[in-house]
Amino acid sequence: MNLITFTEAGLFCSLGQFYIDPWKPVDRAVITHAHSDHARYGSKHYLCHTYTKPLLQLRLGEGNYQAIEWGERININDVVMSLHPAGHIIGSSQVRIEYKGEVWVFSGDYKTENDGLSGQFEAIPCHTFITESTFGLPIYKWEKQETIYDEIRKWVTQNMEDGFSSVLLAYSLGKAQRVINALEQNQNIYAHGAICNSQELLINQGWELPSVQRITVDTEKSALKKSIVIAPPSADGSSWMKRFSPFRVGVCSGWMQVRGNVRRRNADAGFVLSDHADWDGLISATAATGAEKVYVTHGFQSAFSRYLNEKGIDAYEVKTAYGQEEEDEGKETKIDTP
C-alpha cells in the first residue's frame, strides 16, 4: 500500500488528500519546516508545528495556518497524521502517516546531534521511511558541535587581534541562531537584515536568544571595526560586504568538509557546521526506524540508496525539488541594502 506517492506537485497522500512540503500550490499542505525549499507560497491551507507557524507567516505572509504539537494526532479520512522532532532547525518536524496499521514516515531535513534549539531527532518505527541524503557520502562525518564552536571563537579572537572584522556566513534561519549562541559573550555582534528578522521574531516568540544589532545605512563604519557580522551565504561577494573592510570571511557549512570548497568560495576559513545529518547519522537514523523500504530524496541519493540496498534494505532514489535553502537565503532582503 502506497500511503505517499511522488507527484509533480510534491509528496501526496491521496487517502488524506494532503501534500507534504509541496513545491507547487495545493489545497492542503503539511510543512516540515520553514526553509524556502520546503515551505512555498500559494497553498490554500498549511499545517505545521507550533514553532514553525510564526516563521511561515514571516516568510510567506498571511494565510490559513494550523499549528499542532509534536506527537499530536490528526485524523484525516481515517489517515492518522502526526509530527515528530527532526532536529534540523527550530520547529522542524518529521511527518508520520498511519492507515490500517501501515506506517510511513517522511523525515524532511534532519540532524541527529541535539543543538539545544531544534529538538532531539526522534527515530520513529515505520514500514517505509522517506529520508533526505544531503550529505550521503562517507566523507561527511561531523565533529561535535562544541568543537566547531571553539574553532569559530578562536578565529574571531585572532581576527580581532589582527585588526579584522569577522564575517560569518550562515543560513538566516537555523545556522545563524546556533552561531550567534556560540558567540553570545561578545558584545559587538552585527547581522544582516534577513538574520535580524528571524532572530527578532524568535525572541518575540519567547526564545531565549541573544539580540544582535541590525546593520542599516546609519550604522557607523567605525562601529563595525573588528566586529562580528553574521550574514546569509548570498551576501558573499556583494557590495554590501565592503563596509566591513578590512574583514575576513568564514563559511559555516557542512560543505566545508571538503577542503577545496574553502578555496573555491574564496573564503578565509571554513567551519564544518551543518543542520543536516552526516553519513553516520543518516545510517543510524534509517536503521533505527526498522523500515523495510526506504525512499532517498535530495542529496547523494545514488550513493546512499546503493549502500542501503547492499545492507539488505529495499531502497529507491526519488527526485524532488528540495535542497536549495542555501541558494535561496537572503531573498527576504536585498543583499546590497541593509
The pLDDT assigned to 186 comes to 82
The pLDDT assigned to 71 comes to 98
The pLDDT assigned to 188 comes to 81
Does the pLDDT at position 87 exceed 70? yes
Does the pLDDT at position 326 exceed 60? no
Q: Are 192 and 333 in contact (CB under 8 A)?
A: yes
Does the pLDDT at position 192 exceed 60? yes
Please state which CATH number belongs to domain 5-139+275-328. 3.60.15.10
The pLDDT assigned to 221 comes to 87
Does the pLDDT at position 337 exceed 80? no
Domain boundaries, the chain: 5-139+275-328, 145-271
pLDDT digits (tens, 9 = 90+) for 200-222: 999 999 999 999 999 998 898 88
pLDDT band at 327; cut points 50, 70, 90? very low
pLDDT band at 263; cut points 50, 70, 90? confident
The pLDDT assigned to 206 comes to 97
Instruction: Select the CATH number that applies to the domain covering 145-271 from these four: 3.40.50.10890, 3.40.50.720, 3.30.465.10, 3.40.50.2300.
Output: 3.40.50.10890
More confident of the two residues 142 and 187: 142
The pLDDT assigned to 335 comes to 33
Strand partners, 225: none
Cβ of 1: how many Cβ atoms within 10 Å?
10
The reply to whether domains 5-139+275-328 and 145-271 share a CATH topology is no
Mean of pLDDT over the chain: 93
User: Rounded to an integer, what distance in angstroms lies between the CA atom of residue 71 and that of residue 81?
Assistant: 9
The pLDDT assigned to 325 comes to 65
The DSSP element (H or E) to which 288 belongs, if any, is helix 279-289
Closest by CA position to 30, among listed 74, 62, 61: 74
Does the pLDDT at position 336 exceed 90? no
The pLDDT assigned to 141 comes to 98
Q: Are 26 and 43 in contact (CB under 8 A)?
A: yes
Q: Mean per-residue pLDDT for 194-203?
A: 96
pLDDT band at 334; cut points 50, 70, 90? very low
pLDDT band at 324; cut points 50, 70, 90? confident
Does the pLDDT at position 333 exceed 60? no
The pLDDT assigned to 331 comes to 38
Q: Is the dihedral of CA 65, 63, 8, 93 positive or negative?
A: negative
Q: Mean per-residue pLDDT for 53-78?
A: 96
Cβ of 79: how many Cβ atoms within 10 Å?
18
pLDDT digits (tens, 9 = 90+) for 265-282: 889 999 999 999 999 999
The pLDDT assigned to 265 comes to 84
Strand partners, 213: 190
Least confident of 47-51, 75-79, 179-183: 75-79
Q: What percent of the chain has pLDDT over 70?
A: 96
The pLDDT assigned to 332 comes to 36
Q: Which residues contact 214 (CB under 8 A, 6 or more apart)?
A: 190, 191, 193, 196, 338
